């Protein structure tokens, strides 16, 4: 093509159906969608203008819609451009041949290649419009004569402006020729469509699971019983802390200016009898005791001197170093009633459960803890305690018992020792339907180890189909642990399928297991990001790597560059896993996960 053909690539939408994610940067088949689209366009046209955050130009105002974006892109295109390719960034299957067909279609008389009548029966077409495999017009995959596009934009601007206009408004009064292009016109607007496009990036797992799974129901429970669950509503204090003025230390309650006559009786914690002090008097007081009425100060023992003069009451005198000191805790010193102690999404750990009790709460609204059961698969697997010698071709279960701990760190509460599923279709059906026993039927999540591949002994996918399950995630671009699967079962349970190799199973449990808990409970979980030396040597193109991480003794971390998945020997002495993003460069930060 010559420089008379240019392109406008739109990449500035809000991505509302993707939870606000930057659609242009979402990777499909290991490549950001924007990169795929720009690559296809650049093979066909001369000038290319990208419109959106970080692009060559922006629509005005920002996020004012595709029509405003097209106008901004057209204004930025060189004057020599006569034909304009208009394309969105969310077409992961777009190729150069499809664009060439659309450009060539403008050289033919107006016709509808789908058999439908054109907008007008005669006349030169203003645009060639792509039609997808389902027969739908794809308004953001088209080629326009520049003069017609400019004229249409001008008309829309005069009749109410461009901001917020649906893109189909561009075509309402135009003669177009439709070109059925099929799969290359497929757009990706939701996380389900991202997941359906093949193994997804590890960075997208959390969003895919949040979009594809139903959160657990909320329950109201006493704080200590709910420890380990996730708050479904903000934790708001019912009482101030402390509720009444109390002493922070063993010492003396004092009224007004001193010295003070020691006339009051001693106050102990738990004593709620009426008590008061008048000006110039004091009373002994214990830590946590209610302060007598009239007190305005408490001083600990080491800040005062107590003397006696004859038969009168003892006198309490503040030492010079007591200046500015006060061990009286006023009501609400730590928080007032109505103070938010934690937001929804926080994990109710033991400390927060204790704080809830201090705040006067007798119940909290939570989701979880997520109950899980582990089931191993494979006829070659024997119980971990099987004595030697083992029969030929058989191995001990070296990962199932350990996964209970790994999943616990991820936030799943596993019950009982791992179960086992033989390599038969009937046994797999029993696990998925809950007939394998009460452990699998009562769990929120069934964690299946193995059977996620497509080998002759892997019965999982056919069994999911028979059970009427919905596969939410099937494969992740990560090593080790890429062969993993998450499915929603018809009865509300969730299946987490892990690879059979021990290191792959641990890696997937530690990463996707965490994301699964986030999705089911609404948990907010900040990442722990650290710099790691030699990252450029550890990273791999097109997939994330998970590597054992060990403290280097100087406050940093060192990574194992090579790992073997058939055992866990390479994890020995490594308390964490490092998540090395695909294509990471030296200086990038790496997430550190405590796997056990």
Q: What is the pLDDT of residues 3-12, one digit of tens each?
A: 799 999 998 7
CATH of the domain at 355: 3.90.105.10
- 292 three-state secondary structure: coil
CATH of the domain at 105: 3.90.550.10
Residue indicated by tokens 């058989």: 394
Residue 440 within any structural domain of the chain: yes
CA 338 to chain CA centroid, nearest Å: 29
DSSP E strand stretches across 286-369: 297-300, 304-307, 315-318, 328-329, 340-342, 364-367
Q: Which domain holds residue 223?
A: 219-239+334-367
Segment 429-450 shows an average pLDDT of 85
What's 396-431 look like in SS3? ECCCHHHHHHHHHHHCEEECCCCEEECCCHHHHHHH
User: Domain with 295 in it: what CATH number?
Assistant: 2.170.190.11
In this prediction, residue 90 has a pLDDT band, given cuts at 50, 70 and 90, of very high
The verdict on 44 and 89 lying in the same domain is: yes
* 209/218 Cα distance (integer angstroms): 18
Interstrand relation of 219-221 and 27-28 (parallel, antiparallel or unpaired):
unpaired
Does a structural domain hold residue 49?
A: yes
Question: Which uninterrupted H or E stretch holds 164?
Answer: none
35 shares its domain with 53: yes
Give yes or no: residues 232 and 297 share one domain: no
Domain of 422: which CATH number? 3.40.980.10
Query: Is residue 198 a part of any domain in this protein?
Result: no
Residues 76 and 141 in one domain: yes
- What dihedral angle (degrees, nearest 10) is formed by the CA atoms of 35, 37, 41, 46? -50
Domain shared by 228 and 281, yes or no = no
487 and 343 together in one domain: no
Least confident range of 18-22, 114-118, 352-356: 114-118
- What pLDDT, on the 0 to 100 scale, is given for residue 592? 95
Query: Residue 260 in contact with residue 283, Cβ under 8 Å?
Result: no
What's the confidence (pLDDT) of residue 540? 86
Give pLDDT, residue 564: 87
212: in domain:
no
Say what percent of the chain tops pLDDT 70. 96
- Highest mean predicted confidence (pLDDT) among 439-443, 453-457, 521-525: 521-525
pLDDT of residue 436: 60
Work out the percent of the chain whose per-residue pLDDT is above 90: 72
Instruction: Judge if 147 and 52 occupy the same domain.
Output: yes
Residues 405 and 494 in one domain: yes
Do 340 and 424 reside in the same domain of the chain? no
Q: What is the mean pLDDT of residues 169-195?
A: 90
* 201 is a domain residue: no
Claim to verify: residue 502 and residue 400 sit in the same structural domain: yes
Quick one: pLDDT at residue 437? 63
Whether 575 contacts 548, CB under 8 Å: no
Both 283 and 418 in a single domain?
no
Mean pLDDT (the chain, rounded): 91
Angstrom distances, CA of residue 562 to CA of 11, 209, 537: 38, 30, 11
The predicted pLDDT at position 117 comes to: 41
What is the predicted pLDDT for the residue at 113?
44
480 and 449, same structural domain? Answer: yes
Q: How many domains does the chain have?
A: 5
Tell whether 209 is covered by a domain: no
Instruction: Flag whether 204 is in a domain.
Output: no
């Amino acid at each position: 093509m010559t420089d008379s053909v240019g392109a406008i690539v739109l990449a500035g939408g809000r991505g509302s159906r993707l939870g606000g994610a930057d659609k242009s940067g979402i990777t499909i088949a290991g490549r950001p969608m924007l990169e795929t689209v720009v690559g296809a366009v650049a093979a066909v046209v001369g000038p290319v203008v990208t419109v959106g955050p970080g692009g060559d130009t922006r629509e005005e105002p920002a996020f004012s819609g595709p029509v405003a974006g097209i106008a901004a892109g057209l204004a930025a295109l060189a004057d020599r451009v006569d034909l304009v390719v208009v394309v969105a960034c969310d077409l992961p299957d777009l190729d150069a041949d499809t664009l060439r067909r659309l450009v060539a279609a403008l050289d033919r008389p107006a016709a509808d290649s789908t058999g439908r009548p054109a907008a007008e029966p005669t006349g030169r077409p203003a645009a060639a419009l792509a039609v997808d495999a389902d027969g739908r017009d794809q308004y953001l995959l088209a080629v326009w004569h520049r003069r017609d596009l400019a004229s249409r934009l001008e008309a829309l601007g005069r009749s109410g402006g461009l901001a917020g206009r649906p893109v189909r408004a561009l075509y309402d009064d135009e003669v177009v020729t439709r070109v059925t292009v099929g799969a290359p016109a497929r757009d990706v607007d939701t996380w389900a469509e991202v997941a359906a496009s093949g193994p997804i990036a590890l960075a997208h797992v959390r969003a895919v699971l949040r979009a594809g799974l139903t959160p657990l129901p909320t329950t109201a429970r006493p704080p200590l019983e709910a420890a380990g669950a996730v708050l479904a509503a903000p934790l708001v204090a019912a009482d101030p802390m402390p509720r009444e003025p109390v002493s922070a230390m063993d010492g003396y309650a004092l009224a007004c200016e001193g010295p003070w006559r020691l006339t009051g009786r001693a106050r102990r914690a738990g004593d709620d009898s009426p008590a008061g002090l008048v000006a110039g008097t004091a009373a002994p007081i214990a830590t946590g005791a209610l302060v007598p009425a009239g007190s305005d100060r408490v001083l600990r023992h080491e800040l005062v001197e107590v003397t006696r003069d004859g038969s009168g009451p003892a006198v309490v005198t503040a030492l010079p170093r007591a200046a500015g000191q006060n061990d009286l805790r006023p009501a609400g010193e730590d928080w007032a009633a109505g103070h938010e102690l934690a937001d929804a999404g926080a994990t109710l750990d033991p400390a927060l459960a204790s704080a809830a009790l201090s705040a006067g709460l007798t119940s909290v609204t939570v989701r979880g803890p997520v109950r899980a059961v582990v089931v191993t698969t494979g006829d070659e697997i024997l119980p971990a305690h099987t004595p030697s010698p083992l029969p030929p071709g058989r191995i001990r279960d070296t990962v199932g018992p350990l996964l209970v701990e790994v999943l616990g760190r991820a936030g799943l509460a596993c019950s009982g020792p791992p179960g086992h599923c033989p390599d038969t279709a009937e046994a797999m059906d029993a696990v998925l339907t809950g007939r394998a026993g009460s452990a699998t039927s009562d769990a929120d999540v069934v964690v299946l180890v193995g059977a996620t591949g497509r080998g002759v002994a892997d019965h999982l996918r056919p069994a999911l189909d028979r059970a009427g399950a919905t596969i939410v995630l099937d494969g992740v671009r990560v090593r080790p642990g890429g062969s993993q699967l998450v499915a929603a079962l018809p009865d509300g349970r969730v299946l987490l399928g892990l690879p059979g190799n021990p290191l792959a199973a641990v890696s997937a449990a530690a990463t996707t297991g965490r994301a699964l808990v986030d999705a089911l409970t609404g948990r907010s979980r900040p990442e722990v990001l650290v710099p790691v030396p030699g990252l450029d040597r550890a990273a791999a193109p097109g997939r994330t790597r998970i590597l054992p991480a060990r403290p280097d003794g100087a406050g940093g971390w060192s990574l194992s560059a090579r790992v073997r998945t058939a055992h866990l020997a390479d994890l020995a002495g490594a308390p964490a896993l490092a998540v090395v993003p695909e294509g990471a460069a030296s200086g990038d930060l790496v997430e550190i996960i405590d796997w056990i």
